[in-house]
A and B are shown apart, each in its own frame.
Chain A
Amino acid sequence: MRYLPLTPEDRQAMLATIGAASIDDLFVDVPAEARLSGPIANLPGHASEMAVERHFSALARQNMAAGHHPFFLGCGAYKHHIPASVDHLIQRGEFLTAYTPYQPEIAQGTLQMLFEFQTQVARLYGCDVANASMYDGSTACWEAITMAARVTKRTKAILSSGLHPHYVSLAKTMAKFTGDQLMTSAPELSAETDSVQLLAAIDADTSCVVVQYPDILGRIEDLSAIAAKAHEQGALLVAVVTEPVALGTIRSPGEMGADIVVGEGQSIGVGLQFGGPYVGLFACKEKFVRQMPGRLCGETVDAEGKRGFVLTLSTREQHIRREKATSNICTNAGLCALAFSIHMTLLGERGLRDLAALNHAHAVKAAERLEKVPGVSLVNESFFNEFTLKLPKEARPVVRALADRKVLGGVSLGRLYPGNPVLEKGLVVAVTEVVTPEDIEAFAIALEEVLA
C-alpha cells in the first residue's frame, strides 16, 4: 500500500499517545451493528502500479481514439490540437495539487490566472465581466436562465430550437422542480433558424430568450434583432456558445446585445475526455454582476501596497448566504480554466483568428465535397466549422457503418432527438484544423459506400 506512509510501529506509538488500545477504539462511536469486521467481500485486494496500468491499457485499447482516425464529431465537444506545453504546465504540482485559493497570500498563482482567465473570457464574449468558470456549458446555461429570472423577476424563458438538445433537457429537468416555464421545440432541417417565431414569442412575461450561436445545426445568425425585441419587452438575451473558436472570426454575442453569454470552453485547451471534465464559461454585463453565480476573483492590494488577487463578492455565495445564495455551486473547473487560459495565451488574438480561419476553410472544403455524395444535401447556408447534412436514410446506422470503416463521421440527429422521423436523417459534421484533405476524402468515399 504504497500511498500510506505509516508503519505498524508508527501506528502503535500513535495509539499510545492517544491513549487507545487499538484502532477499533477510535471507531467507538459507530454502532457495533454498522461496523464491518473485515474487508468487504466481492472486492479484490490492492494491486501494484504495473497491474493497474495493464488493466487500464487493455480497456483503453477497446476505444477508438479520435486522433487515430478520420474524425468529424462535434455537437458541443470538439477535437482540436492542444499545444504540448498546455498539458505540461497544468501538470505542475503547484497547479495540479492545489485547492481552492482560500488563503490568497499563498495562492497568488491560481488567483492571478483566474483574473487573467476572467478577462480573456469577457473579451472573447464581448461582455464586461466573467466569472472564474462553471462545471460545463450545459450547467452554465441553466444558471444563466435562473439568473435572468432573478434579474427580471419573471419565470418564462424562451429557448431557441437551435439550442443543444442536452442543454434543453437539463433545463427541462430543473424547471420541473423550480417551476420555471420553458418554451421550446425541435429544430427544422432548413437553412433558416426559428428567429421569426422567437421574435413573436417574446412578451412582457418573458425573462429571457436563449439562443445558441452557432446553433446545433451549425447555423449562424445576427442576434441584434432578438436582443432589441427582448430589451424592448424587459427581457434578457442569453447567448450560448458551444464552440468558442468560432468567436475568432465571427462577431461576439456581447457586441450584438447579449446580456449574458455562457458556453462550453472545452475547445480551447481541454481534451474530449468522453464528456468531462469540461469548463463552463459565464460572462455578463457589469450591472448584473451581483446576480452572477459562481466564484469571482478580484484585484486588490496587500499590506505593503502590492497588487494581489483574492476571491471576492462571496456574499452572493452559498457559504455565506446559504439558502439565499445565487447558486449552490461551490467549486469551479479550476484546472480546466487554467488549460483554457494557457492555450488562449499561446494563441493570442492573432493565433485565435488564424485558427478560426483555418477551421472555417477546412469546413467549407468538407461541405463542398460531401455535398457531392449521391443523395446527400447540405442544410446550411451559413456555418463556421460544423454543418448539417441531410441523408437519404436514417443517419444512426450510417454512423455505425462508417465506424466499421474506421471513420468517425459525425453525430446523427436521431441520437440527439430520438423518435423524430424528420431529424433522424440529419447528420451533423464538425471539421476542425486537425482534419486533413485525406480525412475528408476518406469520409466521402466511406459515405458513398455506406449509402450505395
Chain B
Amino acid sequence: MTINASGWRPEVGAAVAESAGTYTGNRALMLEEALIFEIGDSKTTGVDIAAPPAVKSRLAGLERHRPIGIPGLSEPETVRHYTRLSRQNYAIDLGLFPLGSCTMKHNPRLNEKVARMKGFADIHPLAPRETVQGALAVIHELAHWLVTLTGMKAVAMSPKAGAHGELCGILAIRAALEARGDARSTILVPESAHGTNPATAAFAGYAVESIPATSEGRVDLAALSARLGPDVAGVMITNPNTCGLFERDMKALSAAVHAAGAFVYCDGANFNAIVGRVRPGDLGIDAMHINLHKTFSTPHGGGGPGSGPVVLSEALAPFAPLPYVERQGDTFLLIEEETVDERQGKSFGRMTAFHGQMGMYTRALAYILSHGADGLRQVAEDAVLNANYVLRSLDDVLDAPFGHTGPCMHEALFSDGGLAEGFTTLDIAKALIDEGYHPMTMYFPLVVHGAMLIEPTETESKAALDQFIGALRSVAMRAKQGDPLLKSAPHYAPRRRLDETLAARKPVLVWKEPEEAVAAE
C-alpha cells in the first residue's frame, strides 16, 4: 500500500471520490484531512532547535536505539492540519449546543486573556509561596465566592473534574464517619443519577443501592426514608435533578438522612439553574461539587479539562483534602501538610499532585466578577426562563413526560412518545445535525423512554431559541409522519452515520502502517 505525495492513500481517495463526486474527496470548504501518520515523516520538524553543547552523556547507558515512530510536520503543514480538523467540529461558537446536563454556554474570551497572563500561566506549583501570592489570592477569592453563593462552610478546590469532585465529597463523608468510629457500607443513589455517582461510590469502597423515582420525576422520599438505616453512609442527590426538576422535598429529605446519621451529597452539575437564588447549604446539603465549566463557563475543549471544587458543610469541612489556601493577615498560605494546625490528622489527604486547575480558577473568577451577585442571579433566571420557553413552545409536538406537573428548571425533558413506528430519538438527533444544530442529550435520564434533554442556557437570545424551536418542531413533525429521509440523516455532515458497533467489535485504537495492519488481521 502506498501513500502519494499529498498524503492520500490512492485506494481510499478513489472510494471517497466516487461517493463525493470529487477527486480529492473534498466538498468545497468541507475538507478531508489525512492522519499525521500518513502525511508526516520522521525527518520533518516544525521547530528550530539549537545544536546542543558538547557534553559527556550521563544517561546510564540507556540511550534509545529504536525509532520512536512519531511523524513530524512543518509549521505551515501543522497549522493547516489542525485548522482543517477544527472545521469538522461543532462548537458553541458556531451555534446553540443544547446538551442537557452539560451546560454549554458562551465562553467569554476575556477569561482566556486573563488565564494567559504570564503571572498565572507561567508559574510553577512548587514555587516558594512568597513568589505566588497573586495566584493564591485568586484561589482564595474564588473560594470565597463559592462558599458564599452556596451558603456552605468550606470548599475543597483541588478536584480536577466533576467526577473527581464527587469522589472528594464521598471520601469526606467516609472520613467523617470513620472519625466517629461509625463504619457504614452503603450509598443510596437515585436511578436517575449520572453514571458517575454510582461509579464514584463504588470507587470509594461502598456498595451502591438505587432509589426509584416517582411518576413525577422526583426522588421517592418514602422509598428513600424506608431504606435509611445504620448501614447507610450517605445519599447522592442531583438537585435540580436530571429530569430538569427541582427536588421539592429536599429539606425533608436532608432531615431524614441526617436523623439516620448519614450525609447528603449533592451532584452540583446543575447549580447554574439556582445560582444566586437558592443556597444549597439552606437545603441541608453536606457536600456538593461545582463543575466550573458548566456554571462558570470555563471552556470544555472537546472533552475537558474540567474542574470540580467541592463545597462542604461544617460537619465535613475538617476532613477536606490537602492542599488548601488560607489568609493570614496580608499573606496567603498554602497548607500542604496535615500537621501544621489544629486540623492535624483530620484531612483525608491529597487527591492530586498539585493544587487543582489553576487555569480554570482564573477563568471562572473572571466570569463571576463580570456577572457579580446581581448578574449570577440573572444567569439562573434566564437559564430557567429559556428552558421553560423551549418546553412550552414544543409540548404540542413532542411528548413532555413531566410537563403537566409545572415548570422545569434550566433544562426541558421530552420523550420519544408519539413518533411514527420505528422512529427514535436518534433519528431526531441526526436530523437536527442537518439543520445545523448540535443535538440535545439523548437517552438520558434513563427513567424516561427515548429521553431528549434540552438545555439552552442563559446565553441564547430569543431569536436563537425561536429558530431552534422551529427546526426541532419541523424535525419532530417529520418523525411523527415517518419521513424515511430521517432514517439516513445526517446527509450534510462531514460524515454520515458512523458504525459504532464495528468500532467496538474490532477495536482500532492506534494507527498502524497499512502493511502492519493487514498482517495483523
Contact = CB atoms under 8 A, between A and B. Distances in A.
A152 interface: no
Nearest to B166: A328
B358 interface: yes
B195 A334 contact: no
A124 B164 CA distance: 27
B123 A403 contact: no
A166 B141 CA distance: 25
A197 interface: no
Given A67-B122, A98-B90, A248-B64, 18 more contacts: A4-B382, A19-B392, A34-B283, A43-B372, A60-B118, A85-B79, A106-B433, A107-B90, A112-B33, A135-B305, A222-B60, A272-B124, A296-B507, A298-B503, A312-B507, A328-B167, A345-B78, A403-B131
A323 interface: yes
A181 to B, nearest CB: 14
Contact of A301 (B60, B357, B490, B498): B498
A403 B130 contact: yes
Contacts of A259: none
24 contacts: A1-B371, A6-B386, A34-B251, A66-B123, A94-B87, A96-B299, A98-B92, A105-B495, A106-B490, A118-B509, A129-B509, A130-B510, A251-B65, A273-B123, A275-B353, A276-B305, A276-B352, A298-B508, A301-B499, A303-B498, A330-B196, A355-B49, A382-B59, A400-B130
Interface string A314-344: 1101111111110111111111101000101
Given A17-B393, A36-B278, A276 B357 contact: yes
A329 B304 CA distance: 11
Interface in B388-411: 388-389, 391-393, 406-407, 409
B55 A361 contact: yes
Given A5-B459, A318-B195, A138 B352 contact: yes
Contact of A15 (B51, B131, B200, B385): B385
A380 B458 CA distance: 57
B35 interface: yes
Interface stretch (A23-31, A199-207, A444-452): A23-31
Contacts of A380: 58
Contacts of B430: 105
A46 B372 contact: yes
Contacts of B119: 59-63, 65
Interface stretch (B99-107, B219-227, B477-485): B99-107
A351 to B, nearest CB: 4
Nearest to A354: B49
A265 to B, nearest CB: 12
Interface string B448-464: 00000000001111101
Contacts of A137: 353
B214 interface: no
Interface string A188-227: 0000000000000000000000000000000011100000
A222 B62 contact: yes
Interface in A249-307: 249-252, 255, 264, 271-278, 289, 295-307
A442 interface: no
A301 B75 contact: no
Contacts of A132: 303
B287 interface: no
Of listed A18, A28, A272, A403, residue having the most chain B CB within 10 A: A272
A247 B196 contact: no
Contacts of A264: 353
Contacts of B276: 36, 39-40
B44 A348 contact: yes
In order of increasing CB-CB distance, the 4 nearest A-B pairs are A348-B72, A335-B301, A275-B354, A60-B119
Interface string A377-391: 000111110000000
B318 interface: no
Interface stretch (B257-265, B343-351, B417-425): B343-351
A333 B458 CA distance: 26
A318 B430 CA distance: 24
B160 interface: yes
Given A59-B138, A348-B40, A128 B510 contact: yes
B42 to A, nearest CB: 4
A408 interface: yes
A14 interface: yes
